[in-house]
């Protein structure tokens, strides 16, 4: 029996630790060109050639060449596509399900918790004018009235505090609620797929999307990219928001109609945007977003990247463990397309390809 073949289409383990796990289990590895630092990798034809007869595909985000049905069809005995990230929007999940392939995501706490922390930091940078104050000091200015910040929480004197609206109420949004608790802000959330008790337990008011947009001073997006959420925020939604509102997106760039966001910022329909994700990644150097000054706070899709956590440790280890589990003929945790499990078990269940 030949060794199982694993294509690591977007490596994200500079230590090589998880590669050794696979090799010690008897796997042959093929490494693609994409990496954690850049989502730009091999083209589809090259990916098909590399994936030929593979038993598993593994990697982090790969924007330039998503894992297509054609790529997966190059590997008739493919068992699993394992992502080291939370999102699977760069995998054709429908094609995987038709082929009987498990698609795995990695919702490790160090990643989604890091995103929540990063969102909190963006809120404070905007509300407390930290960039502007720093620059003023370096220009020799002192206590300029325009540098006053916003007091976040309600006070005993009757000040109600700001309202923060969370679009999506999964793990990341709920952790952000925990971080916001001491600040005593009013929190709204919209998520039609989360049971009402979750909102009650978190002391969050459940509302529809238009209400959230109209009433929030900060709107923060925490949704997976699906056909339903693709382009869900555009001109119509910006028209509902307060002119002083800040939009934060640490989920996926294509949730926002980016050109319409740029226009809304240029027209002062909203006051600012904090973006860790973009329509195309990396965005073009001449993107209008880079010329909007303090209206925008931009980051290179690194909310989950923190020393000792994130994709380069927990996420990669999780994805690698799921590959080893599938190659042993067992169903791993974190299956995204769970409807495929019965068919997968009939085909691969109990049939191990590993030497240990």
Catalytic site includes residue 252? yes
Catalytic site includes residue 228? no
Asked, for residue 127, whether it belongs to a domain, the answer is: yes
Domain boundary among 278, 298, 318: 298
- Rounded to 5°, the CA angle 102-321-176 comes to 85
- Of the candidates 228, 237, 291, 283, which has an alpha carbon nearest to the alpha carbon of residue 260? 237
Q: Please, which residues bridge with residue 168 across strands? A: none
Asked, for residue 258, whether it belongs to a domain, the answer is: yes
Please tell me whether residues 291 and 319 are part of one structural domain: no
Contact 146, 206 (CB under 8 A): no
Please tell me whether residues 114 and 95 are part of one structural domain: no
- Which pLDDT score is estimated for 1? 61
Please tell me whether residues 91 and 156 are part of one structural domain: no
Please tell me whether residues 99 and 231 are part of one structural domain: no
- Which pLDDT score is estimated for 38? 65
Angle between helices 314-327 and 109-127 (to 10 degrees): 150
State pTM to two decimals: 0.88
- Cα–Cα distance for residue pair 248/82, rounded to 1 Å: 28
Please tell me whether residues 126 and 255 are part of one structural domain: yes
Domain boundary among 279, 298, 317: 298
How many alpha carbons lie under 13 Å from residue 166 in its C-beta half-sphere?
A: 30
Give pLDDT tens digits for 303-347.
887 776 554 568 899 999 999 999 999 999 999 999 999 999 999
- Cα–Cα distance for residue pair 224/168, rounded to 1 Å: 8
Please tell me whether residues 254 and 141 are part of one structural domain: yes
Give pLDDT tens digits for 18-59.
999 999 999 999 998 877 666 567 789 999 999 999 999 999
Structural domains in the chain (count) = 2
Asked, for residue 123, whether it belongs to a domain, the answer is: yes
Please tell me whether residues 97 and 114 are part of one structural domain: no
Pairing of strands 205-206, 218-221: unpaired
Domain containing 204 — which CATH number? 3.40.50.720
Give the neighbor-by-neighbor strand order of the sheet with 28-31: 28-31, 5-10, 56-59, 80-83, 102-104
Catalytic residue chosen out of the listed positions 19, 252, 258, 321: 252
Please tell me whether residues 211 and 238 are part of one structural domain: yes
Asked, for residue 353, whether it belongs to a domain, the answer is: no
Please tell me whether residues 155 and 181 are part of one structural domain: yes
- Cα–Cα distance for residue pair 293/275, rounded to 1 Å: 13
Catalytic site includes residue 79? no
Instruction: Quickly tell me which residue has 């593994």 as its tokens.
Output: 58
Asked, for residue 303, whether it belongs to a domain, the answer is: no
Asked, for residue 273, whether it belongs to a domain, the answer is: yes
- Which pLDDT score is estimated for 343? 97
Report the SS3 class of residue 116: helix
CA dihedral 320, 104, 94, 11 (to 10 degrees): -40
Asked, for residue 227, whether it belongs to a domain, the answer is: yes
Pairing of strands 28-31, 5-10: parallel
N-terminal to C-terminal alpha carbon distance within the chain: 14
Please tell me whether residues 241 and 185 are part of one structural domain: yes
Please tell me whether residues 240 and 194 are part of one structural domain: yes
pLDDT below 50 — which residues of the chain?
A: 311
> 179 is in which domain, residue-wise?
109-298
Domain boundary among 274, 298, 322: 298
Catalytic residue chosen out of the listed positions 281, 317, 328, 330: 281
- Which pLDDT score is estimated for 241? 98
Asked, for residue 167, whether it belongs to a domain, the answer is: yes
Please tell me whether residues 137 and 264 are part of one structural domain: yes
């Amino acid at each position: 029996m030949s060794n199982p073949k694993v294509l690591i289409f977007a490596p994200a383990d500079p230590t090589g630790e998880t590669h050794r796990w696979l090799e010690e289990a008897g796997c042959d590895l093929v490494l693609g060109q994409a990496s954690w630092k850049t989502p730009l990798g091999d083209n589809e034809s090259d990916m098909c050639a590399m994936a030929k007869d593979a038993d598993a595909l593994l990697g982090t985000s790969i924007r330039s060449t998503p894992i297509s049905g054609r790529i997966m069809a190059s590997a008739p005995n493919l068992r699993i596509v394992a992502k080291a990230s939370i999102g699977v929007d760069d995998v054709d999940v429908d094609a995987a399900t038709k082929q009987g392939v498990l698609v795995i995501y990695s919702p490790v706490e160090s990643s989604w918790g890091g995103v929540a922390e990063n969102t909190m930091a963006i809120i404070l940078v905007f509300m407390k004018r930290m960039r502007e104050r720093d620059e003023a000091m370096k220009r020799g200015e002192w206590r300029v009235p325009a540098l006053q910040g916003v007091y976040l929480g309600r006070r005993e004197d009757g000040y109600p505090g700001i309202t923060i609206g969370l679009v999506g109420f999964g793990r990341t949004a709920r952790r952000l609620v925990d971080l916001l608790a001491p600040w005593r802000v009013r929190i709204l959330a919209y998520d039609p797929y989360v049971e009402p008790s979750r909102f009650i337990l978190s002391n969050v008011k459940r509302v529809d999307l238009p209400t959230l947009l109209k009433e929030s001073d900060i709107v923060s997006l925490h949704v997976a990219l699906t056909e339903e959420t693709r382009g869900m925020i555009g001109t119509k939604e910006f028209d509902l928001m307060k002119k002083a509102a800040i939009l934060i997106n640490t989920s996926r760039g294509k949730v926002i109609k980016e050109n319409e966001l740029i226009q809304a910022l240029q027209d002062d329909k909203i006051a600012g945007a904090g973006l860790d994700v973009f329509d195309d990644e990396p965005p073009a150097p001449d993107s209008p977003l880079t010329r909007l000054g303090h209206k925008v706070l931009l980051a290179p899709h690194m909310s989950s990247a923190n020393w000792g956590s994130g994709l380069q440790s927990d996420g990669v280890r999780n994805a690698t463990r799921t590959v080893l589990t599938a190659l042993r003929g067992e169903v791993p945790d974190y299956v995204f397309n769970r409807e495929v499990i019965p068919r997968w078990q009939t085909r691969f269940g109990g049939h191990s390809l590993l030497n240990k």
